[in-house]
């Protein structure tokens, strides 16, 4: 007979990678509250409150604004399997891993995909997309607002105009932006967007907030083929989240309790104050890293404050640094993805983890990790970070 494992006792970590981020204590408490039924009247009212709070963070009045049961990738699939079908045409901006993934999901949805190839570490301009579109017509234009693999923030100015020229819906990945920087879907003319709970919302992974505009819903309802995924079919799921309350699947009740608290915390802090906090801590981190002599490859005006990409110095072992941080400081940062694997670190300051204390910790720990390999950085990182707080304080 196999022995019964001991109860789990995970180590305490400071999560400063690309996600998941540290979970706020009150969110953890909400996750542990008593489970109730997925059609309980109180749970139905909680669902309504979640939708209302999501609308504020997404910057939209869309009626359909719900969390899907699944991680952020389920949100991506939700948009694409509902809005694409065999014969559809998709224009996808690819300047990182998650643009690449959107293109792949679009292909698997039966669409003809045209890729606008962008430089990794740089944002797209409207003309970049226009050149690839070359006057053609598309059903959707897809962009990543905050590219997790490269730390790039995508300016959405004039992207609606590009989509209009293509006769397309405009779709947006907001997995790493929602709750950490301004998302203004209605003002930008975005038709559908998705996110995840484990980044700037500081809730565990497991839900994917999505929203569809009336125009996107009209496209969904006029499909020639059934949605290829029964589980992600919004024609069905919207009946559960809408007035009918028609059963589709058993909702992850306690995860939704956690999301409710995470959204409530964001609104209680105030979105402008929350975005300012992320921006200030990001700027302080950049200043400290620069003072250490480390390269930040993304131009400053295209850089995410909540997720910073750092070039690994020549001769420094990536795995050894990250292992040192984990063993000596119980601190996690992320490695590079795709072409940046082994070439860069990704440092996240997201949600509850975006604090001055964590900026000081990661700068001190990284300096120690580099020194352990004989690559002692220049001094002055903490002073440079402190100067940013002095400027903005």
CATH classification of the domain holding 280: 3.90.1150.10
pLDDT at 156: 98
Whether residue 15 lies inside any domain: the answer is: no
Point out the domain boundary residue: 216, 236, 267.
267
Same domain (yes/no): 224, 290: no
Q: Residue 116 phi/psi, 5° resolution?
A: -90, 105
Whether residue 289 lies inside any domain: the answer is: yes
Whether residue 4 lies inside any domain: the answer is: no
In whole angstroms, give the CA distance from residue 258 to residue 263: 9
Which of 114, 116, 103, 109 is CA-nearest to residue 83? 109
Tokens for 44, please give them: 């139905």
Point out the domain boundary residue: 267, 291, 319.
267
Point out the domain boundary residue: 267, 294, 324.
267
Q: What is the pTM of this model?
A: 0.96
Same domain (yes/no): 283, 206: no
Whether residue 150 lies inside any domain: the answer is: yes
Whether residue 364 lies inside any domain: the answer is: yes
Same domain (yes/no): 32, 79: yes
Same domain (yes/no): 297, 250: no
| Structural domain harbouring 382 | 271-392
Question: DSSP letter at 303?
Answer: B
Q: Tell me which H or E stretch contains 54.
A: helix 41-58
Which of 206, 209, 149 is CA-nearest to residue 185? 209
pLDDT at 392: 53
CATH classification of the domain holding 194: 3.40.640.10
Same domain (yes/no): 170, 50: yes
Q: Tell me which H or E stretch contains 169.
A: strand 169-173
Same domain (yes/no): 257, 296: no
20 prior amide bond cis, ω within 30: yes
- Per residue in 183-217, pLDDT (tens digit) is 999 999 999 999 999 999 999 999 999 999 999 99
Same domain (yes/no): 42, 81: yes
Place of tokens 């293509």: 166
For the chain, the domain total comes to 2
Question: Cα 370 to chain center, whole Å?
Answer: 29
Whether residue 200 lies inside any domain: the answer is: yes
pLDDT at 378: 83
- Per residue in 261-271, pLDDT (tens digit) is 999 999 999 99
Same domain (yes/no): 218, 109: yes
Same domain (yes/no): 241, 352: no
The answer to whether residues 391 and 62 touch, using CB atoms and an 8 Å cutoff, is no
Q: Give the residue ranges of the chain where pLDDT is below 70.
A: 1, 392-393
Same domain (yes/no): 99, 29: yes
pLDDT at 377: 84
Same domain (yes/no): 227, 363: no
pLDDT at 1: 67
pLDDT at 184: 98
Same domain (yes/no): 214, 315: no
pLDDT at 2: 78
pLDDT at 148: 97
Question: DSSP letter at 178?
Answer: B
């Amino acid at each position: 007979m196999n022995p019964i494992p001991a109860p789990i006792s995970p180590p305490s970590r400071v999560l400063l990678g690309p996600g998941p981020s540290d979970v706020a204590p009150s969110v953890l408490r909400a996750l542990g509250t008593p489970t109730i039924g997925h059609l309980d009247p109180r749970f139905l009212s909680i669902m309504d409150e979640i939708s209302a709070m999501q609308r504020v963070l997404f910057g939209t009045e869309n009626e359909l604004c719900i969390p899907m049961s699944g991680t952020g990738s389920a949100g991506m699939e939700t948009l694409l399997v509902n809005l694409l079908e065999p014969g559809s045409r998709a224009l996808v901006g690819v300047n990182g891993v998650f643009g690449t993934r959107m293109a792949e999901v679009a292909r698997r949805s039966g669409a003809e995909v045209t890729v606008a190839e962008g430089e990794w570490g740089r944002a797209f301009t409207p003309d970049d997309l226009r050149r690839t579109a070359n006057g053609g017509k598309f059903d959707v234009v897809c962009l990543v607002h905050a590219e997790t693999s490269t730390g790039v923030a995508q300016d959405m100015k004039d992207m609606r105009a590009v989509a209009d020229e293509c006769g397309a819906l405009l779709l947006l990945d907001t997995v790493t932006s929602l709750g950490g920087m301004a998302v203004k879907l209605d003002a930008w003319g975005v038709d559908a967007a998705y996110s995840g709970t484990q980044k700037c919302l500081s809730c565990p992974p497991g839900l994917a907030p999505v929203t569809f505009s009336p125009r996107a819903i009209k496209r969904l309802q006029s499909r020639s083929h059934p949605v290829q995924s029964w589980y992600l079919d919004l024609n069905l799921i919207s009946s559960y989240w809408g007035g009918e309350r028609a059963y589709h699947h058993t909702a992850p009740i306690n995860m939704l309790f956690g999301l409710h608290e995470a959204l409530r915390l964001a609104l209680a802090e105030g979105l402008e104050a929350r975005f300012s906090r992320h921006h200030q801590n990001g700027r302080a981190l950049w200043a400290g890293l620069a003072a250490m002599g480390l390269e930040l490859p993304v131009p400053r005006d295209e850089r995410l404050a909540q997720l910073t990409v750092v070039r690994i110095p020549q001769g420094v072992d990536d795995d050894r640094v990250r292992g040192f941080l984990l063993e000596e400081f119980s601190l996690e940062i992320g490695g590079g993805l795709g072409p940046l694997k082994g070439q860069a670190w990704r440092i996240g300051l997201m949600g509850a983890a975006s604090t001055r204390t964590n900026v000081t910790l990661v700068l001190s720990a990284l300096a120690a990790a580099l020194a352990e390999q004989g690559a002692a950085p220049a001094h002055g990182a903490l002073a440079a970070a402190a100067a940013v707080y002095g400027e903005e304080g």
